[in-house]
Amino acid sequence: MGILIRQGDVVTATDRYTGDIYVENGHVAALGRDLSAFRRAGDEVVEAGELLVFPGGIDAHTHMELPFMGTVSTDDFRDGTVAAALGGTTGIIDFAIPAKGDGLLDTLARWHEKANGRAVVDYAFHMAVVDWNERIRDEIPLVAERGVTSFKTFTAYKGVLGIDDGQLFSILRRVREAGGLVTVHAVNGDVLSVLAEEFVREGTTGPEYHYQTQPNCMEAEATHRSFALAGLARQGVYIVHMTCGESLDELRQARRAGLTAYGETCVQYALLDESLYHKPDFEGAKYVLSPPLRSRKDTEEVWRALADGTLSTVATDHCPFNFQGQKDRGRPPLADFRRIPNGLPGVEERMSLLYTYGVAAGRISLNRFVQLTSTNVARIFGLHPRKGTIAVGSDADLVLYDPRWEGTYSARRQASRCDTNVYEGWRQQGRVVHTIQRGRFLVRDGRFVGEEGGGRFIERPRFDPLQAQ
Ligand code: URP
Ligand code: ZN
Ligand code: ZN
């Protein structure tokens, strides 16, 4: 059975037109001004009316069911991807993260077990490399052969997940040989640990000191260092969750110097700021994540970089923890911001937040919105043209969005299994009416109708900088 979407306001990374889309066997089969002639008995017809139709969102940065800082993020692959689908996201790239000493292939198998039969949207993985030794060296190409062609490194989280410069350089070279792309969580983990230790020793233990341990200059310094090492290794690099003017300037400079360099930000860095760490009753803990929220001026720098093309993608770093029983572990009597699990939710809100505060607010165009939420992610991570666009032959991953709807965000109404919505009470402009993946409805009239385990693992090819441009 096919689907005929009639007279949609179709938006891609480059175009906008009113027209029909005919979907057959999970793919976009035809695009045109009027495709009534394609309609067959049994086909579903969706009158798009004034709905926008854009490619399903792809969130390049999620952490479903992540064991982290002595606890586990609240959304598993089912709940987290139901939230994604309701928010218009049809693909996620989650991070398979080993503990130090674990093998990469074992870790990858564990992530497949968590996602297979549970995820409701399509998914891929990045492989984190948190050690450097013979075994890891040998396993990197084997991971790439299994369709996982991006590798994550942390210069943060010293002693837990963090690696040093020599290790990062070796990983960059090895991943290049294996045909992959390296992504970096770039901050100076050494300095951060010293500052954190000092604050706690002096009894300054509240959530606001988490922010003070991670100054902008230490994100910029590690970003600069990552580019320098990548240049020497003749390798491209993708910096995850960029937050401030100083590191965005490093990205601009690296690009000007001809490096294959990409920057990701997350919606929270465009919308939320460090004043939230001062909320009473320890509520500032809800906003503890790494890197931390920055100043209002930095949120403006992030918007500027989204509009001018410096940043390539907007992700979420979706890593929710409950306030009760997880975030509140850093409260007195054991008062210590280092005990607050780092991370917050966003996969459900990403698309509508960027629409409301980006497109509707006149900060970015609709085409740029599609680039940042879908097309650029697909291009950089080898999913394009199967995903990230609306083209004949591409997967029919489509979102029909009502831009006139108005409402607010609330934890009470969300699908994510988290007791917090960091956008509680914020205005929402527009909402997802239908989400379609490979020609199947995941969301119909705003309700989830998909199937547990309906999401597929997407194997990705070697990284190709020419495709990623
Ligand atoms: O605070 C964060 N970002 N938590 C998730 C892990 C990471 O660093 O991406
Ligand atoms: Zn990170
Ligand atoms: Zn992350």
Q: Which of 210, 277, 342, 420 to mutate to test the pocket of ligand 1 (most atoms within 8 A of CB)?
A: 342
What is the token pair recorded at 198? 């000092």
| pTM of the model as a whole | 0.98
240: CA distance to ligand 2 center in Å?
Answer: 7
Residue 111, classified by CB atoms within 10 Å of its CB into exposed (0-12), middle (13-18) or buried (19+), is buried
Ligand 1 center–CA 177 separation, angstroms: 28
Residue 247 confidence (pLDDT): 98
Q: Which two tokens mark 313?
A: 């993608």
- CA–centroid distance, 381 to ligand 2, in Å, is 18
319 within ligand 1 shell (Cβ under 6 A): yes
**353 alpha carbon – ligand 1 mean position (Å):** 20
Provide the pLDDT confidence category of residue 469 given band limits of 50, 70 and 90. Answer: confident
pLDDT on residue 82? 98
> Which of 62, 63, 161 for a ligand 1 pocket mutation test, highest count of atoms within 8 Å of Cβ?
63
Task: Determine the average pLDDT of the residues in 80-92.
Answer: 98
How far apart CA 145 and CA 128 sit, in angstroms, is 16
Look at residue 468 and tell me whether its pLDDT is greater than 90: no
467 falls in which pLDDT band (50, 70, 90)? confident
Amino acid identity, residue 109? A
* Contacts of range 421-426, beta carbons closer than 8 Å, 24 or more positions apart: 421/345, 421/349, 422/268, 422/272, 422/286, 422/287, 422/344, 422/345, 422/346, 423/271, 423/349, 423/353, 426/353
pLDDT bracket for residue 1 (50, 70, 90): confident
CA-nearest residue, atom 2 of ligand 1:
343
Kindly report, residue by residue over 166-182, the tens digit of the pLDDT.
999 999 999 999 999 99
Mean pLDDT of 69-96: 98
Give the pLDDT confidence score for residue 406 in this predicted structure. Answer: 98
Helix or strand or coil: residue 83? helix
pLDDT above 70 coverage of the chain, percent? 100
Q: Which listed ligand is nearest to 242 at the C-alpha?
A: 2
CB 313 within 8 A of CB 380: yes
Cβ of 63 closer than 6 Å to ligand 1, yes or no, is: yes
Residue 446: pLDDT band with limits 50, 70, 90: very high
Q: What is the pLDDT of residues 383-441, one digit of tens each?
A: 999 999 999 999 999 999 999 999 999 999 999 999 999 999 999 999 999 999 999 99
- Write out pLDDT tens, residues 131-152: 999 999 999 999 999 999 999 9
Quote the tokens at residue 138.
Answer: 């040998």
In tens, the pLDDT along 340-361 reads 999 999 999 999 999 999 999 9
Ligand lying closest to the C-alpha of residue 289: 1
Task: Provide the pLDDT confidence category of residue 127 given band limits of 50, 70 and 90.
Answer: very high
Angstrom distance (rounded) from CA 161 to CA 358: 34
- pLDDT tens per residue, range 233-245: 999 999 999 999 9
Residue 232: pLDDT over 90: yes
Q: Is 343 in the pocket of ligand 1 (CB under 6 A)?
A: yes
Q: Are 78 and 135 in contact (CB under 8 A)?
A: no
| Ligand 1 and 342: CB distance under 6 A | yes
- Residue 278 DSSP class: G
Looking at the predicted structure, is the pLDDT value of residue 102 above 80? yes
Place of tokens 């165009």: 365
* 181-185 β-sheet, strand order: 57-62, 89-96, 122-128, 150-154, 181-185, 237-239, 261-266, 313-315
Question: Mean pLDDT in the chain?
Answer: 97
Q: Which residue(s) pair with 86 in the sheet?
A: none
From 242, 210, 302, 268, select the one nearest 426 (Cα to Cα): 268
Residue owning the nearest CA to atom 8 of ligand 1: 290
CA of 129 relative to ligand 3 center, distance in Å: 13
